[in-house]
Amino acid sequence: MTSAAKPVPLLRHLSGEFYAHCRSHELRFQRCTQCRSWRHVPRQTCARCGAWDWEWARSSGHGTVFTWTVVRRPMHPAFASAAPYAPCVIEMEEGVRVVSEVVDCAPADLRKGLAVEVVFDDVTPELTLPKFRRASGGRRPS
Amino acid sequence: MASPRGQACIAGIGHTEYTRAKVPTGTNLTLELRAARAAIDDAGLRAGEIDGILPFFGIDLAEEIAVHLGIADLRFQMTSHLGGAAPGASIAVAALAVANGIANHVLVPGGWWGYAGRRVREVVVQDVSAMSGGANARDFYFPYGLTAPVQWFSMIARLHMETFGTRPEHLGAVAVACRAHAQRNPHALLRGKPITIDDYLASPMISDPYRLLDCSLEADGAAAFIVTSAERARDLRARAVPILGFAQGQPFPADDIVTRDDPFELGVTHATARAFEMAEVRHADVDFAEIYDPFTFQVIQQLEEMGFCERGEGGAFVDGGRIAPGGELPVNTHGGLLSEAHVLGMNHFVEAVRQLRGEAGERQVAGARIGVVTGFGDFGDGSVVVLGSGA
Ligand SMILES: [Zn+2]
C-alpha cells in the first residue's frame, strides 16, 4: 500500500494569500482597516462593521493553547502512521484562533493556557504551515 | 397571522430494518423508497396522493423519488442543507406547506448505506468542501490531520472538561443511558449488548477525550414521514402527532467551529426558545427528548444550550440516571444514533412519534404528551421540533 498524500490547502483566493505570507515566514491575519478588528479564517468583508477594506496585519506570533485533541485512531490515510498526534487550537494575542500543533510538546503535556510562539514548517516548496512551540519568553514579531 | 402551532401533523412513519451489512443490497434510493412506502401505508394514503417531497441533501433527488412512487403531479419540493438538522428543518417546512395549502401530503425521506457503503469519514476525506464550512476545514484543519467530525467535536468536549470540570464518566453516562434505552427497542442494533460505565472507560480511545463508545453507530437504513394538515389528518388511519413548535438556528460563524466568540454556542442555543414559544411549552412540560447524538458530549452540550440545565452543569445533569430509562428526562428512548443506528437523525422522529402515539412497547414513557426532537448538523447547525400526543 502506498502512503496517501497529506491534504493541502487550496492555495488560491484569500487562503492562498494567508499561506503566501507563511511561505515568507510571516504570520499575518486579516485586520479591518475601518474598525481595526482582527479576523481569521479569511473573509471578504468585516462581519463587525461591514467594511470591504482590510490589511494582512502581522501577528506577534504569540498565543496560548485553547483546546486540543489527541488522535489515537487517525481517520485520514495520510495520517495513519502519525498517531498519536495532537491538533490544537491556538488563541493568538490578537484574539483570533487558529488550528495548528505544538511541535515540541508531547500530547500528554498539553495544557489549556500553555504559552506558545509561532514557527514555520516548510512542508513543500509551495506550502509552509504555521506551527507552534513553547514560548521562550522573548517577544519578537513573527 | 395564525400561529403554525398544531396546524400540521406527522401522519405516518416508516423505516427499513437497520443493519451493518457487508455490502449494500441496492442503492440509497432502494432504502428510501422502502421507508417511504411504509410511511405512506402507515398514514393510510396511496402513493399518488403525496404531492410534496423534501429529500435529504446529497442523497436522492425529489424527481427520482417521485417517479418511483408514481407521483405525476409533484407540487412542492425543496431541500434543507442543515446536515443532521435537516430532518427537523424539513418537517418544519413541510408543516408550513401543508398548513398554507401549498401541498396536501408531504413526504420527508432520508437514509443511506452509512455502514456498508461510503462511511462518513471517507466522504469527508474525499470531498469535505461539499459540506457547510468544508472549505475552511480543507484549508485550515486538514493540513494538521484534523480531518473528521470525531476530532473536531472532541476538541469542544475537551474545552468543556477544561473549563467546567466535566469528566469522562459524564460522557460515559450518555453512552450508558442510550445503550440502556436500546435494550428495550427491538429495532436497535445494539439491543442485547448492554454496557456499564466500566465498559465505557475501557473502550479504546479514538480522539481523546472521545473513545469508541462516545461515537455514534454508523449504520444502513432509512426512515420517512408524512406531514399532513391537522384537518386532513383526521381522515387518515394512523394517530396523527401534532407538530406544536419548530425552529432552526445556527452558531456564529456557522462555517468554522474553532473561531466562535462563544465556543459552546450551537444552533439549538437560539432555536429552542423560538420552538418552545411557538409550542407554548416550558422545559418542565417536556416528557422526553430525542437529542441528536453524533457523539456523547454533543448531547450534554445541547441539553445545556437548550436550557435544560445551566452551562457547565450538563455533566452532573446526565449523571445519576436522569436521562436513562425511568429517569426524570428520558433522552434518546430508542437508543439514539449511539445505540439504535445512525440514520441521519430521522430515527429520532420515528421514535418520538411512537412514544406520542403510545406505541413504544416496553420502553413507553408513561403518559408521554410532549416530546422534543433536536437535529445537529455540520459544525453545529440546529433544529428543534416540539411534538404533542394530540390527546
Ligand atoms: Zn470592521
**CA-based nearest residue to A91, from A69, A67, A111, A107:** A67
Between CA B384 and CA B376 the distance in angstroms is: 9
Ligand 1 center–CA B322 separation, angstroms: 46
| Segments making up each domain of chain B, as ranges | 8-388
Nearest to B138 among A7, A96, A123 (CB): A7
B147 touches chain A (CB under 8 A): yes
The beta strand positions in A4-78, using DSSP E, are: 28-32, 38-39, 54-58, 62-68, 70-71
B161 touches chain A (CB under 8 A): no
pLDDT at B21 over 60: yes
Between CA B78 and CA B82 the distance in angstroms is: 13
**CA-based nearest residue to A121, from A42, A3, A25:** A25
B154 touches chain A (CB under 8 A): yes
Nearest to B154 among A47, A69, A79 (CB): A69
Query: What average pLDDT score do residues B361-377 get?
Result: 97
Q: Which CATH architecture has domain B8-388?
A: 3-Layer(aba) Sandwich (3.40)
- The pLDDT, as a whole number, for residue B238 is 80
Q: Which residues neighbour B77 within 8 Å (Cβ) at sequence distance 6 or greater?
A: B52, B53, B54, B55, B62, B66
Query: What average pLDDT score do residues B365-373 get?
Result: 97
Which residue type sits at B214? D
Look at the block and give the residue holding cell 440516571.
Answer: B321
Would you state the cell numbers that stand for residue A71, as one nine-digit string?
Answer: 488522535
Query: What average pLDDT score do residues B177-184 get?
Result: 98
Q: Which residues pair with A57 in a beta bridge?
A: A29
Smallest Cα distance from A74 to chain B, Å: 8
Q: With an 8 Å Cβ cutoff, are A73 and B159 in contact?
A: no
B158 touches chain A (CB under 8 A): yes
Q: Domain for residue A104, yes or no?
A: yes
Candidate from B12-26, B110-124, B375-389 with smallest mean pLDDT: B110-124
Mind listing the pLDDT tens digit for each residue in A26-46?
Answer: 999 999 999 999 999 999 999
pLDDT at B182 over 80: yes
Pick from B258, B264, B379 the residue to mutate for testing the A interface (most A CBs within 10 Å). Answer: B258
Q: What is the percent of chain A with per-residue pLDDT over 70, rounded to a whole number?
A: 94
Ligand 1 center–CA A16 separation, angstroms: 22
Secondary structure (3-state) at B44: coil
Q: Domain for residue A105, yes or no?
A: yes
Smallest Cα distance from A70 to chain B, Å: 5
Ligand 1 center–CA B136 separation, angstroms: 21
- Band of residue B266 on the pLDDT scale cut at 50, 70, 90: very high
Between CA B248 and CA B264 the distance in angstroms is: 17
Local structure of residue B88 (DSSP, 8 states): H
Q: Which domain does A120 fall in, by range?
A: 13-138
- The pLDDT, as a whole number, for residue B271 is 98
Between CA B90 and CA B28 the distance in angstroms is: 19
Candidate from A23-27, B119-123, B201-205, B335-339 with smallest mean pLDDT: B119-123
Query: What average pLDDT score do residues B336-362 get?
Result: 98
- The pLDDT, as a whole number, for residue B328 is 98
Q: What is the percent of chain B with per-residue pLDDT over 70, rounded to a whole number?
A: 99
B203 touches chain A (CB under 8 A): no
Between CA A88 and CA B162 the distance in angstroms is: 14
Would you state the cell numbers that stand for residue B171, as one nine-digit string?
Answer: 460522557
* Residue B203 to residues A40, A107, B199, B295, B385, Cα–Cα distance (Å): 36, 20, 6, 14, 33
Query: What average pLDDT score do residues B150-154 get?
Result: 97
Query: What average pLDDT score do residues B221-229 get?
Result: 98
Would you state the cell numbers that stand for residue B359, as one nine-digit string?
Answer: 406505541
- The pLDDT, as a whole number, for residue B239 is 87
B205-208/B241-249 β-pairing: unpaired
Find out whether B352 and B290 touch, Cβ atoms under 8 Å.
yes
- Band of residue A138 on the pLDDT scale cut at 50, 70, 90: low
Mind listing the pLDDT tens digit for each residue in B92-142?
Answer: 999 999 999 999 999 999 999 999 998 777 777 777 777 778 899 999 999
Q: Which residues neighbour B359 within 8 Å (Cβ) at sequence distance 6 or greater?
A: none
- The pLDDT, as a whole number, for residue A1 is 44
Number of domains observed in the structure of chain A: 1
Between CA B128 and CA B135 the distance in angstroms is: 7
pTM, entire model = 0.97
Query: What average pLDDT score do residues B70-95 get?
Result: 97
Q: How many CA atoms lie within 13 A of B328 on its CB side?
A: 10
Tell me, what's the ipTM? 0.95
Query: What average pLDDT score do residues B312-335 get?
Result: 98
B156 touches chain A (CB under 8 A): yes
Pick from A15, A69, A76 the residue to mutate for testing the B interface (most B CBs within 10 Å). Answer: A69
